[in-house]
Structure 1
Amino acid sequence: MFRSIRHGLFAALAGFTVLICVCYTGLALVISYVTEDMLVDRLLEREAASMAVHFRQHGDIRPPGLDLIRVYRSVEALPPPVREQLAAGRERAEIFTGTGQHYHLRTLRLRAEPAPQAVYLLADVGPLLVVSHLFQEVGWLLVLLALGLIALALLLAYLLSRRLVLPLQVLAQEVRSLPEQGPATFSARHRRDEIGYLAQKLGATVSELHASLRREHAFTRDVSHELRTPLTVLNNTVAQAQSRPLDGREVAQLQAGLDEMGATIDVLFALARAEHIARETVDLRACIEDSLLRLLEQGAWGDLALDLPDRLPVLGNRHLSTLLINNCLGNALFHGGPGSRLRLSFADGVLGVGNTIDPGRTGAMQGFMHGQHLLRRIAEAMGWAISFHAAQDAYRVDVVPLRAS
């Protein structure tokens, strides 16, 4: 069963408050009664000392100086409850009776001839019990005051618990209402305490989780979409090989399909790891030259024109940049044909990759080698922009990379 942390904190603060009130009230009562008893005992002690001095000087027992104290020369003259205390061997005692009397007893032993003499000082302190009379007269006021203070303490505990727990409740509510794919931002992330640290870490963790889920969904979708066509071509070619030998064109088609699948898998895995790869300064011209050298080993261009600066520093990822250039040039070589004219230029921050198309190959065209979707995914992973421009006799791809400062 769900229970709010505010309720638990309020219960703890309220219980602690009530406990403190009860403890201090009990302590105040104990101190009050002990103070009364000590006062009466001190009066009896002073009276006993004064009577002992008078007995040594004059040889007789003088009457006590306080009216509330009486002197008894024999045990039999004492009230029955007091005699019971003496019979129990107590020479000093505080005695409560069922009839309302409250006695304090003190035994005084005097050195007399021929034998020591014992007298008993008995004080009926009922009229002196200030604490008891105070509670009887204004007890209701003290109870109301105590209840008022407890109510005030409970109110303060409620406000304090609400103030302390409110940031956590707001954070919990924001987590509950967090969209499945939306940004994970929490209002407490700017706080300079543990709650702010928790909000920052929680937001970063949720954002990373959403990004991982998006990459997983994109990877699954791309695998299903991009590998279906080459797999179909491979299955058809293999099925034909069961009935007759493959000719050179079919073998080349089979090899092209395998190369296409390998390149596609490289791109998909690179995109799946893209958000874990830090950006760096990359010389894009070096990537272009490496791609051209690799593709020229596989075929020859009819015409190649380069209009690039000596160095082209951009901000991105070297592996993804190479994959992007490889796919653009590979598409141009595959769909343009050996006799196509390829032109690479860089002007106004835009890298243009254009190629001519043989009109006789238009019917065999099926689009880019990996499709425009994957090329856009590669560019977006690095924060680049890419656009495609198709015509009857030419095709151009414009890439806008992030320039390195």
Structure 2
Amino acid sequence: MFTSIRHKLFAALAGFTVLLCVAYTGLALVISYVTEDAVIDRLLEREAATIAAQQRPGAGDLVAAYDSVDALPAVVREHIGAGRTRGEIFTDTGQHYHLRTLDLPGRRVYLLADVGPILVVSQLFQKVGGFLVAVALGLVAVALLVAWWLSRRLVAPLQVLADEVRHLGAASPAAFSASDRRDEIGYLAQKLATTFDDLQGALRREHAFTRDVSHELRTPLTVMTNTLAQAGHRPLDDRQMAELRAGLADIGKTVDVLFALARAEHIACESFDLRGCIEDSLLRLLDSDSAEERLKLDLLDLPDRLPVLGNRHLATLLLNNCLGNAFFHGGAGALLRVSWAGGVLSVVNTVDPSRAGTMQGFQHGQNLLHRIAGAMRWRIDFHADTAAYRVDIAPLPGH
């Protein structure tokens, strides 16, 4: 049973080749015998025309004319007795007769030709039949060899592609040798490589999403759980309520970032004005009543336009998180400075030394911010000390 596509193709080509050989051999035999009979029949017609024109029986080396049925050989008389006046008569003694009846005025003439000595096809097969069979078998063998070679050559790229797909690792890049071919196999290899890469990218994003959900949400949830546990013994004060609200806001921002990163490879990059995103984020933050009490914009040093290359949605999430962290970890009376120099956006907030322990909790979100920047091929760095916290963002230049 054929299970390989190469075997199936070879069987199809070989079967078609043998069928053509047998069909053309049979057709050649039929044409040979029909041609031979047609020549003999034409000779009888010419002899009959000669006898009819001369009104007398003739005789030749090939064709004999008989006025009486009794003069004919016995096998021919049986043929005539059966009502057949013309035809081809075979005998067991080697004679091969062709009979034609000619009706003349007042009499009937029987033209009989013993064509055994001039049969060409049968004698040809007797003499060179073995050679012809050998040649035919040789041609069939050559045809089968060509069919095998064609099947091997045509199917080999598909078999190589199948082996490469079979041995492709889960984390290895999809690179197929047939990708450079300028035919359907090359197109198939390119599409397979693209599909594998997309699938592996989706699996990586799913794994990262699961890991980040477990890692990034654990800290705010732990803080909120501890705060709520204390509420069972005494009412929550304003500071604890503020921490709960900040924790909820932190979870909401983290979830937004995680979903954005999960869709990052499906979001196109474009050139846009980063200054507009910065101003929108600042206005959103400073419009908050609590922000007015705890955060003061000390410096805003930006050029009129900041064309960058990236994704506006991801950039907005990045700025919202950086500014939101400055608001949350800066403490009461914190100063915020936003400046641009040398292609780097710096976001600096002063830190109350008494809140240094709280500020360290911000590090749990740095991985997300690195991933947001990495999705746009931006660079982001964090610098922390006891008096200030600085975030440097280096975006790709736009136009």
Please report the TM-score for the alignment, with normalisation by the length of structure 1. Answer: 0.91
Where 2:329 maps in the other structure, the secondary structure is helix
Aligned counterpart, 2:159: 169
- Following superposition of structure 1 onto structure 2, how do residues 5-404 of structure 1 map, counting pairs within 5 Å? 5-55=5-55, 60-62=56-58, 64-65=59-60, 67-112=61-106, 117-296=107-286, 297=288, 298-299=290-291, 300-302=294-296, 304-368=298-362, 371-404=365-398
Q: Is the 8 A contact 2:219 2:364 kept in 1?
A: no
Quickly say closer, same or farther: Cα 1:49–1:118, change in 2 above 3 A.
Answer: same
| Paired AA for residue 268 in structure 2 | A
Larger displacement relative to structure 2 (243-252 or 265-274): 243-252
| Paired AA for residue 103 in structure 2 | R
In structure 2, C-alpha distance between the alignment counterparts of 1:95 and 1:387, rounded to whole Å:
108
In structure 2, C-alpha distance between the alignment counterparts of 1:209 and 1:190, rounded to whole Å:
22
Q: Is the 8 A contact 1:303 1:339 kept in 2?
A: no
Structure 1, gaps ≥5 residues long: none
Q: Is the 8 A contact 1:327 1:369 kept in 2?
A: no
Structure 1 residue 53, shift from structure 2 partner: 1.4
Structure 1 residue 362, shift from structure 2 partner: 1.7
| Paired AA for residue 378 in structure 2 | W
| Paired AA for residue 269 in structure 2 | R
Q: Is the 8 A contact 2:380 2:392 kept in 1?
A: yes
Structure 1 residue 25, shift from structure 2 partner: 0.7
Structure 1 residue 197, shift from structure 2 partner: 2.5
In structure 2, C-alpha distance between the alignment counterparts of 1:2 and 1:121, rounded to whole Å:
61
Q: Is the 8 A contact 1:72 1:78 kept in 2?
A: yes
Quickly say closer, same or farther: Cα 1:257–1:2, change in 2 above 3 A.
Answer: farther
In structure 1, C-alpha distance between the alignment counterparts of 2:256 and 2:139, rounded to whole Å:
74
Larger displacement relative to structure 2 (379-388 or 337-346): 337-346
Larger displacement relative to structure 2 (345-354 or 257-266): 345-354
Structure 1 residue 104, shift from structure 2 partner: 0.9
Q: Is the 8 A contact 2:2 2:8 kept in 1?
A: no
Structure 1 residue 386, shift from structure 2 partner: 1.6
Structure 1 residue 100, shift from structure 2 partner: 2.2
Larger displacement relative to structure 2 (300-309 or 20-29): 300-309
Where 1:290 maps in the other structure, the secondary structure is helix
Q: Is the 8 A contact 2:349 2:390 kept in 1?
A: yes
Where 1:7 maps in the other structure, the secondary structure is helix
Structure 1 residue 183, shift from structure 2 partner: 2.7
In structure 2, C-alpha distance between the alignment counterparts of 1:343 and 1:369, rounded to whole Å:
20
| Paired AA for residue 323 in structure 1 | L
Please report the TM-score for the alignment, with normalisation by the length of structure 2. Answer: 0.92
Where 1:100 maps in the other structure, the secondary structure is coil
In structure 2, C-alpha distance between the alignment counterparts of 1:182 and 1:311, rounded to whole Å:
42
Structure 1 residue 302, shift from structure 2 partner: 4.6
Larger displacement relative to structure 2 (308-317 or 289-298): 289-298
Where 2:57 maps in the other structure, the secondary structure is coil
Q: Is the 8 A contact 1:302 1:338 kept in 2?
A: no
1:63-113 per-position Cα deviation (integer Å, ceiling 9, x unaligned): x22x1322333223323332232122211111112222211111111112x
| Paired AA for residue 117 in structure 2 | P
Q: Is the 8 A contact 1:103 1:125 kept in 2?
A: yes
Larger displacement relative to structure 2 (384-393 or 8-17): 384-393
Quickly say closer, same or farther: Cα 1:356–1:2, change in 2 above 3 A.
Answer: farther
In structure 2, C-alpha distance between the alignment counterparts of 1:312 and 1:3, rounded to whole Å:
63
Structure 1 residue 37, shift from structure 2 partner: 0.5
In structure 2, C-alpha distance between the alignment counterparts of 1:394 and 1:81, rounded to whole Å:
128
1:149-205 per-position Cα deviation (integer Å, ceiling 9, x unaligned): 112222222222222223322322222232323332333333333223322322222
1:235-256 per-position Cα deviation (integer Å, ceiling 9, x unaligned): 3333333443222222112111
What is the aligned length? 395
Aligned counterpart, 2:4: 4
Structure 1 residue 31, shift from structure 2 partner: 0.5
Larger displacement relative to structure 2 (22-31 or 251-260): 251-260
Where 2:235 maps in the other structure, the secondary structure is coil
Structure 1 residue 369, shift from structure 2 partner: 6.7
Where 2:52 maps in the other structure, the secondary structure is helix
In structure 1, C-alpha distance between the alignment counterparts of 2:51 and 2:68, rounded to whole Å:
17
In structure 2, C-alpha distance between the alignment counterparts of 1:13 and 1:218, rounded to whole Å:
52
In structure 1, C-alpha distance between the alignment counterparts of 2:81 and 2:381, rounded to whole Å:
114
Structure 1 residue 370, shift from structure 2 partner: 5.2
Structure 1 residue 20, shift from structure 2 partner: 0.8
